[in-house]
């Protein structure tokens, strides 16, 4: 498709002219969009939650929640509640459960936040003419979702959308990690690694304590069941700690170098002004360094969630 003012090319590799923050008026979608398949995608007025209806991703996300809840069950009912030291159980229980809630909240925010999807089907003649490009300038469209690709956007075959600053698609959160939800993914990996390390420490302490006394005095479960539960918890904690700690480190490194995993693997030369170290961290987490960076509930619009739950529209929004 060509006009006298610009040319349009169908290419996956691109040097796009649109900025990552450009708002699209024609065919634009709200941040909360239900994505369930190749034909999904609603108008901005239909503010439904973002969710990827991928069977593999939903199973992996369910497994993630099950394993976190399993660890919470073993820590509370096998190790802490039967313990005789009240303050030891109280402090460790409060710490572990708080971290578990933050981890699951971060997982939910990562999974149900639009990662930065480019509007589908916006590569129309009318919209291209509205860009007012200079003669000879080239814009690139994705042949898979028929959208004009902004800078640093890549197409995800699972989400079936082009995602701004796409880092990778993670089945464990059933979503892409991109411009708008990377901070929640970083928090998810951080909190999972913390509760994994905490669970390993508690398990080691419990084994050491129970060796000195009778196992029947250490847990409400039989010795055999308790040992099996603790062994499985330790294996889970070691696996999760290794994976999430490495992922957390790679994400921080990518943010500080302003380079996504896809860009690193493809060895793409930067055509954008790179934001290094703290500038990159502030761009992802927002504002100056503070405890709010560690809060997965920051920016949560409770009013919108209530409207989505009850199917109503309009009214003001409350943000935390």
* Residues belonging to the active site: 170
CA dihedral (175, 55, 250, 16) positive or negative: negative
Helix (H, G, I), strand (E, B) or coil at 141: strand
H/E segment holding residue 130: helix 125-130
Residue with tokens 């994976």: 243
Residue 79: both structure tokens together: 């190790």
**Angle between the N-to-C axes of helices 55-73 and 182-212, in degrees from 0 to 180, rounded to the nearest 10:** 40
Exposure on the CB side of residue 94, measured as CA atoms within 13 A: 5
DSSP-assigned letter for residue 22:
-
Torsion of CA 29, 32, 38, 40, to 10 degrees: -80
- Alpha-carbon gap, residue 132 to 150, rounded angstroms: 16
Question: Dmax of the chain from CA atoms?
Answer: 86
């Amino acid at each position: 498709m060509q006009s006298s003012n610009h040319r349009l090319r169908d290419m996956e590799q691109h040097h796009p002219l649109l900025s990552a923050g450009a708002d699209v008026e024609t065919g634009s979608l709200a941040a909360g969009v239900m994505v369930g398949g190749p034909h999904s995608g609603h108008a901005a007025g239909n503010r439904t939650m973002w969710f990827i209806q991928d069977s593999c991703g939903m199973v992996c996300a369910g497994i993630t929640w099950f394993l976190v809840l399993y660890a919470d069950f073993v820590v509370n009912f096998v190790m802490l509640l039967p313990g005789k030291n009240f303050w030891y159980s109280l402090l460790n229980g409060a710490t572990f459960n708080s971290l578990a809630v933050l981890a699951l909240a971060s997982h939910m925010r990562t999974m149900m936040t639009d990662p930065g999807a480019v509007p589908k089907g916006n590569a129309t003649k009318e919209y291209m003419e509205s860009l007012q490009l200079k003669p000879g300038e080239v814009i690139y469209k994705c042949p898979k979702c028929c959208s004009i690709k902004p800078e640093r956007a890549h197409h995800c075959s699972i989400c079936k959308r082009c995602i701004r600053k796409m880092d990778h698609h993670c089945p464990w959160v059933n979503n892409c990690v991109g411009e708008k939800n990377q901070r929640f993914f970083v928090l998810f990996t951080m909190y999972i690694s913390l509760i994994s390390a905490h669970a390993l420490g508690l398990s080691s302490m419990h084994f050491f304590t129970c060796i000195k006394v009778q196992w029947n005095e250490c847990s409400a479960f039989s010795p055999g069941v308790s040992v099996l539960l603790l062994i499985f918890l330790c294996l889970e904690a070691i696996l999760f700690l290794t994976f999430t700690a490495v992922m957390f480190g790679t994400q921080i490194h990518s943010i500080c170098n302003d380079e996504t995993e896809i860009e690193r693997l493809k060895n793409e030369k930067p055509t954008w002004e790179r934001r290094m170290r703290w500038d990159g961290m502030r761009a992802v987490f927002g504002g100056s360094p503070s405890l709010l960076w560690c809060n997965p509930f920051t920016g949560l619009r409770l009013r919108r969630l209530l409207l989505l739950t009850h199917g109503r529209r309009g009214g003001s929004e409350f943000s935390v």
